[in-house]
Chain A
Amino acid sequence: MSGVRVNTRNRMNRWWRGASGSYVVMIAMGAFTQSAIATERVDFARDVQPIFAQHCVECHGPEKQASALRMDRRTNLLRGGDSAEPAIVPGDAGASYLLTRLRDPNPEKRMPYRRPPLAEDEIAIIERWISEGADWPGAEHEEDANVGASHWSLQPIQPLEPPTPSRPEWVRNAIDAFILAKLDEVGLEPSPEADRVTLIRRLCFDLHGLLPSDDLYQRYLNDRREDWYERLVEELLASPRYGERWAQHWLDVVRYGETSGFEVNTPRENAWPYRDYVIRAFNEDTPYDRFILEQLAGDAVGVHEATGLLVAAPANLPGQIGQDLASMLGARQDELAEIVTTIGAAYMGLTLHCARCHNHKFDPITLKDYYSLQAIFAGVYYDDRQIPDARDPVRLRELLTQYDHTAAQLQSLGAREPVNGRLNVESFTPRQVRFVRFTAERTNSGLEPCIDELEIWSVATGDAQSRNVALASAGAKATASGTMPNSDIHRLEHINDGMYGNGRSWISNELGRGWVQIELAEPTVIDRIIWGRDRDGVYGDRLALTYRIEVADDDGVWHTVADSQLRLPQDASAREAWLADAPADRREQIAQLTQRMEALTHELLQVVPPRRVFAGTFREPGPWHRLYRGDPMQKREEVQPDIPEIFGTLGLSSDTPEQQRRVALARWLGRKDNPLTARVMINRIWQHHFGTGFVDTPGDFGRMGTQPSHPELLDWLAYTFMERGWSIKNMHRLIVTSSTYRQAAVPHTRGLAVDSQSRLLWRYPARRLEAEPIRDSILQASGVLNLTMGGPGFNAFKPNDNYVRIYEPREDFGPGEWRRMIYMHRVRMEKDGVFDDFDRPDAGQVCTQRVRSTTALQALNLLNSTFMMQQSRLFAERLQREMGEDVERQITRAFQLLYGRSPEREELDAGMELVRSHGLVAFCRAIFSTSEFLMIP
């Protein structure tokens, strides 16, 4: 590949080198004959240009570009107009759309439009000119402006020095130097630093989306150390509350939703692991280039749920799509268009979706580019994918404890539950091992034994959780006595791929017997082995009834840790017979405990079903094509999976497996010479700290987007971002510790007159909080915020299972619904009845920036909803609990909690009057509706 930098010029030079042979100077000066043309090369300036000038350029020239086509420049003819059919293909007259239209038998389509057609000898000249390579002397100097290659955001990101500040004492880091230089230009001065309460509240809202806690106020209001502020920033960034706040910004962009959208809007029950992934990625400060890779190709790097990004958009369910071919192909194109749109908005800041039906009107993206990019994702389908090794560890631990306890009771009576076709747990005393071998000696059907997954669980130590160390992705290696040959679904590597079911299983090549062995990456202390024949419960044959499990450490000495000796017969009548033989005093107990074990196994299967995540499924797509005007019924030439040509090429082919395509794109996006990736992300980070980005069209860095307010600072930050390992937290540190960020928000007339929006940042731009921090902060103030992280979301709507879902907001709430709003089951389009009206995006279209409106419905929701009435009561109870019946203290406490300050005399008096007349709940209901609470200061 030729690098990321824009290389149109190079390409053009290549064409010209190829066409620079000698051409015969034509002697005949007057009218020339066909035979003259046939023997001599056509001269563009003499023979072709006059035809264009006379017939074409009036409508397709510098003044007017009908159908976005210009015929006064070669680059534009090569690119084509709206149709994206190349008007000329040098050397290939047959593929040149210009000739098709000049000779179109339909007079409404034939060019020149509604005028007499060109004479056939004129068309023949053009045809010859094209066949001879379409020489156009001077075209190598054509400004490429029409395709926007020189646009600022496509230029490389260069290192640069911050300007020398006019007020060095104000400058805390390079950001301030850049900001100050711009302020100097318009004669504004930065505002003084905000007071400490404001700074603490600003940081908490910004980084956590929550109010500061009592504890935080206490520690940081009285901290006399120089670096109290930096310490606070570190503390906030280290908290998991940070990820819950900043993940939402990302989820907006990719319009993460947990329903299908459209009319049925069916829940995607398994979508939430992607939400948890994003939260975790922010909390762990996953380097941004890695973040991209995981989301585009997590299946290749063991972070499976991350590919939820690819399928985050709405998509019609198969049953809601017309059964005719056009409808089905069209729906598939819509699905893929969503993916391309997401990639464009999230990573590239390019409106790639604009090139679905025609060449991009403003940016250097052609229709062909669009379908090349689409080919990268052509194998992605909107569906659940079974993914390895991702469980609910807490619930699992609970169940396993009960399971072990019951199993031990049963064993003390000399029995074990029968072998289970789906799931068997073998627990033993922890020991360090390197090898684990499962040997089958007899199966129920007499056929070759089958195991779908052999899991080996390590013992939790310190920070390390118990995990399945048998996985190939954990570095373990599988060997076996033999494997049934020639099967796609029964393969040795399936024994430890983390995938369940008959379709991902190992089968021995010997009737009734065989062994499979796992070599761990390193000696590990383990205490549990879990295995099954078919976790899905579809197949029950080939089940090993007599078996043993042995382990060995590096010394190679084998020890048996589990076997089938005490197992009760699997067959029911045989079991009855066995029980009948058992001592009478134990019979009943054994039967009961066996039943209990069966129930527990069943529950385990509920908790750890084969994990399905709505993260897309993948298939090899086959050849891919450009579609004429985006119409799936009109395929044009084949395209290769690739990035837009202006950026070079990924060098892939139609044969490249689809996963590798996604990996290649991710790697390209993460390259440091990619001009867009870092700029777009830095802009996004800045936007969430200050309300507006340098570029206030954060999804569009193309020519329709705005120029950055501080281009040098944007580039300096983008460069620094990459140099410091793509660490997002590092960028937060840099930004929030700047003097720029620490300014007061109070406006003054002069600043308002010069720069009303404070885009130059002469003050901190205060603004209303978004829906999530409002809701979360209310719960926090009333003292009921439930900080349970992760897992399935809570539901804001009443239960409903109509096949077209009806979403009626619920009216009863308890601790389950008092989790942070990011954990609210994300129903597309529908509103939760209280907070969605605060401009929370509907997850229908990409949202790179929320709008902010103020409406009467917001007022009504905050005043009258059952949710808010309940919170007002809970808040009042808290105030009474903490402050007793002293109204003044109650009000003061409320002000402290919500505003971080004490009430002024008038505020207190009016508040006390309200409480005395109408009760504390009325006061609490009021204060939740106030601007001071609802604003990031």
Chain B
Amino acid sequence: MDSMASKQPTVIGQRLMDRRSFLGSSIMGLGGIALTQLLATQGLLGATSKGPLRPSIDPARPHAARKPHFAPRARNIIMLFCSGAISHLDTFDYKPELIKRDGQPMPGADKLVTFQGENGNLQMSPWKFRPRGRSGKMTSDLLPYLGELVDEMCFIHSMTSKTNTHGPGENFLSTGFTLDGFPSIGAWVTYALGSENQSLPAFVAIPDPRGVPQASVNNWGPGFLPAVFQGTAFNATKPIRNLASPVPGNVDRATRDYIQMLNRRHAERYPGDTELAARIASYELAARMQLSVPEVTAIDNEPAHILQMYGADSTDKLKAGFARNCILARRLVERGVRFVQLFNGAYAMGEGVGNWDAHRILKDQYEVHGPILDQPAAALLRDLKQRGLLEETLLVFCTEFGRMPTFQKGASGRDHNPEGFTVWLAGAGVKRGFSYGATDPFGYKAVENVVTMHDFHATILHLLGLDHERLTYYNNGIERRLTDVHGHVIRDILA
């Protein structure tokens, strides 16, 4: 502790000074440590009376596993993100009234204007819903493989967002803010918890074979957190940029030895400088990654029945590609990677072509996207379960918002709808075969147990053993949180 801390006249000043004095041993602007108890009792900072709990981070091993705030239900998480807003009304949210009133105007929504403009009449799903599993949960024929697993899933049918625009919507889902530049949920979790594997990135984003999602790197960016906590993007076919050495192995080793020799000599001249120690460590981790990442992405080493189970043998290149990404996700959590973000859909190919954004001809578009998602995602859930990984892994199926129960005027597709949509969770810590919340009879607005994105985030953090009100990082005047100043853990869905 440096001498200055004691001179600070205000409690807040002292807190920040302590944060800063921690920098004495940390080069990274990472949070302070021991005084968390003190802060907790001092009741700082507006909205919450509980002070921040700052992870203690060793700059030379920033991804070392760290203790959560309390006993976690999940150690790892896979967030399967359907980019472009997958329609709840054509998948998991069964609305008999919508079928009954097919073709009629939606009551109370005369000339309703949504994202792209005016809406037409109510429109039932082109896919039939039928009861599935022991629970008899009604889901549609669009996703039959996933339908078989309803008894594993914990549905939230009352999700809401606060924007009807993809970019801000993806930002909101992945960072808790609609604006650009905030840390992603994976970065927050990595900042808090580190990773169980010191040879792989702690946080991996797996882009769809078709490309990156709308909000692109925002989904896995560090925002104002240190860059060390950003997601590393790679998938089963596209490797980490700059991972492979451009020179033969022996040259590479000799080169690195020389670097490390010079760096060690230099560090000796600056005793106690942790930044220099961290650089030496970073070259060691880089070398380990060069071995471990090719190993984990070697999907072909999986047995044939596993490849078949996921659909990695499909003649549909996109389905096979997504299947390989699902296998990669499993292999990563198997190896202790903390946070995996798995994307289904990309924006590169335009509206609704490469993702779930079906404004024009819903039926045609979803007949393409459904099979790409269905078998591989279902196999992922099955595989996690059969290996026992689901005990400690949380699988989250999510999307930025839902779609309208009406077709757009003059089109046979659905417009954006942030007022009510469906996500589901499965695995560690959540109820199985359970449904929470509901939309109105047409599936337009969440009306029962309405869940905000902040609640959703608070719950995920809770499952990982983190108090969303105390996981903070100071930036530009505000002790920032993933959940801004909102959010409540949805206790009713916890197992």
A contact set with B: CB distance below 8 Å: 68, 186, 255, 261-265, 314, 316, 320-325, 327, 330, 334, 345, 350-351, 353-354, 361-362, 692, 696-697, 699-700, 702-707, 709, 745-747, 749, 752, 754-757, 759-760, 766-768, 802-804, 806-807, 809, 828-831, 833-834, 837-839, 841-848, 851-861, 863-866, 869, 904, 906-907, 910-911, 914, 917-918, 922-923, 925-927, 929-932, 934
Compute how far the CA of A927 lies from the CA of B478 in the bound complex, rounded to whole angstroms. 40
Report which of B163, B216, B255 forms a contact with A327, defined as CB distance below 8 A. B163
B411 to chain A, nearest CB (A): 14
Q: Is there an interface contact between A323 and B62, defined as CB atoms closer than 8 Å?
A: no
Q: Is there an interface contact between A864 and B180, defined as CB atoms closer than 8 Å?
A: no
Residue of B at shortest CB range from A923?
Answer: B258
Residue of B at shortest CB range from A836?
Answer: B227
Q: Is there an interface contact between B21 and A756, defined as CB atoms closer than 8 Å?
A: yes
Q: A828-B180, A845-B224, A918-B251 are in contact. Are A807 and B216 (CB under 8 A)?
A: yes
Which B residues are CB-close (under 8 A) to A706? 8, 13, 16-17, 20
**Closest A-B pairs by Cβ, 5 of them:** A844-B181, A351-B477, A756-B24, A263-B167, A845-B181
A702 to chain B, nearest CB (A): 7
Q: Which of B99-107, B280-288, B316-324 contacts A (4 or more CB under 8 A)?
A: B280-288
Which A residues are CB-close (under 8 A) to B270? 745-747, 766
Count of residues in B whose CB is under 8 Å from the partner chain: 102
Known contacts A255-B181, A853-B27, A861-B242, then 8 further A-B pairs from the complex at CB < 8 Å, ordered by chain A residue:
A263-B214, A314-B179, A324-B164, A704-B478, A834-B242, A844-B179, A856-B282, A863-B245
Q: A351-B477, A756-B272, A869-B246 are in contact. Are A907 and B282 (CB under 8 A)?
A: no
Q: Is there an interface contact between B4 and A910, defined as CB atoms closer than 8 Å?
A: no
Compute how far the CA of A697 lies from the CA of B473 in the bound complex, rounded to whole angstroms. 13
Which B residues are CB-close (under 8 A) to A839? 226-227
Decide yes or no whether B170 CB sits under 8 A from chain A: yes
Q: A768-B275, A863-B245 are in contact. Are A907 and B262 (CB under 8 A)?
A: yes
Q: Is there an interface contact between A320 and B289, defined as CB atoms closer than 8 Å?
A: no
Q: Which of B110-118, B147-155, B454-462 contacts A (4 or more CB under 8 A)?
A: B110-118
Q: Is there an interface contact between B2 and A755, defined as CB atoms closer than 8 Å?
A: yes
Which A residues are CB-close (under 8 A) to B478? 351, 354, 704
Q: Is there an interface contact between A932 and B266, defined as CB atoms closer than 8 Å?
A: yes
Q: Is there an interface contact between B254 and A851, defined as CB atoms closer than 8 Å?
A: no
Q: Is there an interface contact between A757 and B59, defined as CB atoms closer than 8 Å?
A: no
Report which of B13, B59, B114, B258 forms a contact with A322, defined as CB distance below 8 A. B114
Scan B254-269; emit 1 where CB is below 8 A from any A CB, else 0.
1110110111011101
Decide yes or no whether B40 CB sits under 8 A from chain A: no
Which B residues are CB-close (under 8 A) to A842? 180-181, 221, 223
Q: How many A-B contacts if CB must be within 8 Å?
A: 305
Q: Is there an interface contact between B283 and A704, defined as CB atoms closer than 8 Å?
A: no
Compute how far the CA of A262 lies from the CA of B347 in the bound complex, rounded to whole angstroms. 13
Q: A263-B170, A845-B223, A853-B226 are in contact. Are A323 and B263 (CB under 8 A)?
A: no
Q: Can you report 9 residue pairs joining A to B where beta carbons are below 8 Å apart? A: A261-B180, A262-B165, A330-B163, A706-B8, A754-B2, A802-B350, A859-B282, A865-B241, A922-B254
Q: Is there an interface contact between B241 and A759, defined as CB atoms closer than 8 Å?
A: no
Report which of A322, A697, A843, A931 forms a contact with B263, defined as CB distance below 8 A. A931
Compute how far the CA of A749 lies from the CA of B166 in the bound complex, rounded to whole angstroms. 54
Decide yes or no whether B278 CB sits under 8 A from chain A: yes
Scan B47-65; emit 1 where CB is below 8 A from any A CB, else 0.
0000000000001001000
Decide yes or no whether B182 CB sits under 8 A from chain A: yes
Q: Is there an interface contact between A854 and B20, defined as CB atoms closer than 8 Å?
A: no
Which A residues are CB-close (under 8 A) to B306? none
Q: Is there an interface contact between B16 and A697, defined as CB atoms closer than 8 Å?
A: yes
Q: A263-B215, A851-B28, A853-B62 are in contact. Are A865 and B13 (CB under 8 A)?
A: no
Q: Name the residue in A809, A847, A848, A931 with the highest tally of chain B Cβ atoms < 10 Å from its Cβ.
A: A931
B265 to chain A, nearest CB (A): 7
Q: Name the residue in B166, B216, B258 with the highest tally of chain A Cβ atoms < 10 Å from its Cβ.
A: B258
Report which of B3, B46, B62, B269 forms a contact with A186, defined as CB distance below 8 A. B3
Which A residues are CB-close (under 8 A) to B10? 703, 707
Which A residues are CB-close (under 8 A) to B211? 806
Which B residues are CB-close (under 8 A) to A807? 216
Q: Is there an interface contact between A830 and B217, defined as CB atoms closer than 8 Å?
A: yes
Scan B8-49; emit 1 where CB is below 8 A from any A CB, else 0.
111011001100110111011100000000000000001000
Residue of A at shortest CB range from B115?
Answer: A322
A331 to chain B, nearest CB (A): 8
Scan B216-248; emit 1 where CB is below 8 A from any A CB, else 0.
111001011111100010000000111111110
Compute how far the CA of A214 lies from the CA of B235 in the bound complex, rounded to whole angstroms. 46
Which B residues are CB-close (under 8 A) to A847? 224
Decide yes or no whether B298 CB sits under 8 A from chain A: no
Decide yes or no whether B295 CB sits under 8 A from chain A: no
Compute how far the CA of A914 lies from the CA of B255 in the bound complex, rounded to whole angstroms. 7
Q: Is there an interface contact between B228 and A756, defined as CB atoms closer than 8 Å?
A: no
